[in-house]
């Protein structure tokens, strides 16, 4: 597996700043200090998400030396509710979910997954094989599937795009509905439940590698510009020592044999520190949203 390249700043943090876990002593008062909670949303269907992240949970538990618990939720809003209440200390969320949480209660980015040496991704607009549409505009008057209200790639991008054209979803599409996961949106288009959908490029490209995937039964008719990768976030109430300990584990995975196996199953190269401006394009897009 190819190792992720990190900046000198990362190595400085590893060598001079990061220290062993201080028992995560500042977590919620109603939780034991030797327990840590993180959450994931159903980026793909819940069963698949659980399989992928259970191994990561075990790895985190071994490295932190405490009990680690995984909470799974169907929507990004549910994930944000857990983080706002500090019912979990960390989460894998979408870019749109992070931006909403940052605005509402100061949600913080801890690290960014690196996939195929990139820390960015796109929104794909897909349609059926027999649909003559060649762009999002040409899907006007048809049925469209969104993934989640907070999803940047699965809702915010297509809605902001049609808003700039002077339309709302109600007067642009014949009907819209939410699938709550990207693979379900792909399936909805492939089986004719929807004429089009907006999809996370990372998930689509991964599913397309499978010979029997619904991704092979649809067409990509548009790709957005690059946006900052869906991040790993932490609740703002988490203490600095705990954040440093978590960051040390994540940044070290690419150089640890067992960590490399976990990363491979998650289809990641590793984790990196978010660069300044990584989410600027997503922030600007969100400001264009008028509904």
Over residues 255-268, the pLDDT tens digits come to: 999 999 999 999 99
Residues 78 and 130 in one domain: no
Q: How far apart are the first and last CA of the chain?
A: 43
Residues 12 and 97 in one domain: yes
- Rounded mean pLDDT, 232-257: 97
Place of tokens 């039964």: 217
Residues 69 and 91 in one domain: yes
CA 210 to chain centre: 21
pLDDT band at 228 (very low <50, low <70, confident <90, very high): very high
Residues 159 and 193 in one domain: yes
The number of folded domains in the chain is 2
- Rounded mean pLDDT, 160-182: 96
Quick: pLDDT tens for 94-123.
999 999 999 999 999 999 999 999 999 999
3-state secondary structure string across 29-54: CCCCCCEEEEEEECCCCHHHHHHHHH
Residues 1 and 114 sit within 8 Å (Cβ to Cβ) = no
Q: Is the pLDDT of residue 93 over 70?
A: yes
Q: What is the pLDDT of residue 28?
A: 44
Q: What is the pLDDT of residue 5?
A: 45
Give the CA count within 13 Å in the CB-facing half-sphere of 247: 28
Q: Is the pLDDT of residue 176 over 90?
A: yes
What is the CATH number for 183? Answer: 3.40.190.10
Q: Is the pLDDT of residue 163 over 50?
A: yes
Residues 234 and 157 in one domain: no
Residues 26 and 83 in one domain: yes
- Rounded mean pLDDT, 217-229: 97
Q: What is the pLDDT of residue 41?
A: 84
* Structural domain contains residue 288: no
Residues 50 and 108 in one domain: yes
Domain containing 163: what range?
Answer: 123-224
Q: Is the pLDDT of residue 240 over 80?
A: yes
Q: What is the pLDDT of residue 26?
A: 43
b/e code 114-124 from CB counts within 10 Å (16+ = b)? bbeeebbbbbb
Q: Is the pLDDT of residue 278 over 60?
A: yes
The sign of the CA dihedral 80, 86, 92, 96 is positive
Q: What is the token pair recorded at 125?
A: 């607009």
Residues 237 and 108 in one domain: yes
* Structural domain contains residue 289: no
Quick: pLDDT tens for 66-76.
999 999 998 99
Q: What is the pLDDT of residue 178?
A: 97
* Structural domain contains residue 290: no
Q: Is the pLDDT of residue 22 over 60?
A: no
Q: Measuring CA to CA, how many Å separate 54 from each of 6, 42, 199?
A: 26, 13, 24
Q: Is the pLDDT of residue 12 over 60?
A: no
Q: What is the pLDDT of residue 48?
A: 63
Least confident of 47-61, 136-150, 156-170: 47-61
Instruction: Indicate the residue among 180, 205, 224 that finishes a domain.
Output: 224
Instruction: Indicate the residue among 179, 203, 224 that finishes a domain.
Output: 224
Q: What is the pLDDT of residue 268?
A: 94
Q: What is the pLDDT of residue 11?
A: 35
Residues 177 and 159 in one domain: yes
* Structural domain contains residue 1: no
Q: What is the widest separation between alpha-carbon atoms in the chain?
A: 59
Residues 112 and 147 in one domain: no
Residues 100 and 139 in one domain: no
Residues 110 and 245 in one domain: yes
pLDDT band at 52 (very low <50, low <70, confident <90, very high): confident
- Rounded mean pLDDT, 179-188: 95
3-state secondary structure string across 115-128: ECCECEECEEEEEE
């Amino acid at each position: 597996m190819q190792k992720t390249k990190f900046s000198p700043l990362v190595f400085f943090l590893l060598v001079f700043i990061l220290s062993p876990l201080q028992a995560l002593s500042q977590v919620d008062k109603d939780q034991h200090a030797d327990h840590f909670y993180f959450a994931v949303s159903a980026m793909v269907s819940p069963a698949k998400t659980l399989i992928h992240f259970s191994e990561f949970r075990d790895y985190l538990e071994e490295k932190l030396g405490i009990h680690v618990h995984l909470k799974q939720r169907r929507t990004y809003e549910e994930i944000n509710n857990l983080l706002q209440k500090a019912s979990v200390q960390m989460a894998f969320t979408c870019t749109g979910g992070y931006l909403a949480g940052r605005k509402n209660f100061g949600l913080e980015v801890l690290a960014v997954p690196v996939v195929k040496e990139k820390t960015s991704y796109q929104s794909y607009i897909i349609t059926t094989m027999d649909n003559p549409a060649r762009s999002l505009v040409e899907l006007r008057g048809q049925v469209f599937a969104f993934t989640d209200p907070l999803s940047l790639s699965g809702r915010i991008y297509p809605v902001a795009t049609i808003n700039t054209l002077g339309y709302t979803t109600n007067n642009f599409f014949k009907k819209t509905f939410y699938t709550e996961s990207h693979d379900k949106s792909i399936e909805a288009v492939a089986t004719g439940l929807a004429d089009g959908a907006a999809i996370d490029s990372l998930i689509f490209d991964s599913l397309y590698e499978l010979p029997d995937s619904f991704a092979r039964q649809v067409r990509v008719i548009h790709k957005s510009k690059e946006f900052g990768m869906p991040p790993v976030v932490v609740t703002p109430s988490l203490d600095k020592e705990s954040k440093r300990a978590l960051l040390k584990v994540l940044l070290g995975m690419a150089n640890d044999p067992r960590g490399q196996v976990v990363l491979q199953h998650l289809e990641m190269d590793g984790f990196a520190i978010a660069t300044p401006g990584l989410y600027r394009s997503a922030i600007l897009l969100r400001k264009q949203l008028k509904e």
